[in-house]
Amino acid sequence: MPTAGKGDIKISESKIKHANELCPNNDDLSSVGAHLDLEASQDQLEEQEVFQIAKQDGPNFRGVGTYGAAILIAKSQLALGVLGLPATLNTLGFLPGLICLCCLCFLCTYTGFTIGKFRNNHPHIYCIDDAAYMLFGKWARELMGVAFWIFYMLCYGSAVLAISIAFNALTEHPICTVFWVVIAAVISIMLGASIRTMKVLSCLGYFAMSSIVVAVWIVAVACLAQDEPAAAPKGEPINKMIRVASQGIPFKKIASAVAIQSFSLNGTASFFSI
């Protein structure tokens, strides 16, 4: 009958009983020991599993299906700053801006694919700071956690600012912009505190993704159908030519345009959690 030696995984009485059932004549104990080691390792992973399938009454943290995950990934990747991309092409020029955007898209696609492979090989990893801890240790986890906390705060601030601009545009500025920011922040906090699982969030993702697609198409159709922008000065000539490559643009504007393109594709940061 197999016993636990020094440095081996501790084998409980139920495991020993299971070993006797597998090998009643004490034959081939090495294969039985390997089997028990594998089961013990699986038990340890289950104990470390944070988001287990609910065995009792409680939220199911694994309720996101394939389509729900796809819509969350698409929403996080598309909705960050897609409406700011046309302005970057105007700053950089159409050809340099398009090349820069394609390079960033390729980089994000590669990193997303790599995250998917890493996540499948290490299913107990649920966020990027856990991955940093696994690769580089405790200090990397703390550093990456702080960095992503700052990143998500900036994303949250950008979203709240966009909501306040939308309220101002719809209501024609009846109150202060700061008041709309407060309202947007309260709504966001209430939704964030009430939603516990990604399954519910994925249901909202369909609505959010549809809203983004409709908004993009409205802007595209409006730009192509109108003779001039609504806010353009009346009676002044408007240059509608598309610049193939910009000249004489200050470096700070170029850096800002590249940063906007990079930020609009930073949904990859949320792939670990999804």
Give the start-end residues of each E strand in the chain.
none
Closest CA to 81 of 274, 230, 264: 264
Weakest-pLDDT range from 3-17, 75-89, 101-115: 3-17
pLDDT tens digits for range 198-252 = 777 778 788 888 888 888 888 788 877 777 777 777 777 777 777 778 888 888 8
Backbone φ/ψ region at 150: left (φ over 0), alpha (ψ -120 to 50), beta = alpha
Give the pLDDT score at 7: 41
Query: What region, left, alpha or beta, does residue 248 occupy, with left being phi > 0 and alpha being psi -120 to 50 degrees?
Result: left
Distance set, CA 229 to CA 46, 197, 226 (Å)? 59, 43, 7
Contact 263, 80 (CB under 8 A): yes
Spatial CB neighbours of 274, under 8 Å, sequence gap ≥ 6: 64, 69, 72, 73, 76, 198
- Arithmetic mean of pLDDT, 156-167: 83
- For residue 161, what pLDDT is reported? 85
The whole-model pTM stands at: 0.67
The pLDDT-based confidence of 43 (bands split at 50, 70, 90) is: low
Which residue from 67, 82, 71, 69 is spatially nearest to 212, judged by alpha carbons? 82
Half-sphere exposure of 21 (CA within 13 A, CB side): 8
Listed residue (19, 40, 48, 44) closest to 31, CA to CA: 19
Q: Tokens 């922040």 label which residue?
A: 185
**Quick one: which of 69, 78, 53 has its CA closest to 203?**
69
User: Taking 70 as the threshold, does the pLDDT of residue 189 lie above it?
Assistant: yes
Question: Please, is 204 exposed, middle or buried when counting C-beta atoms within 10 Å of its C-beta (0-12, 13-18, 19+)?
Answer: middle
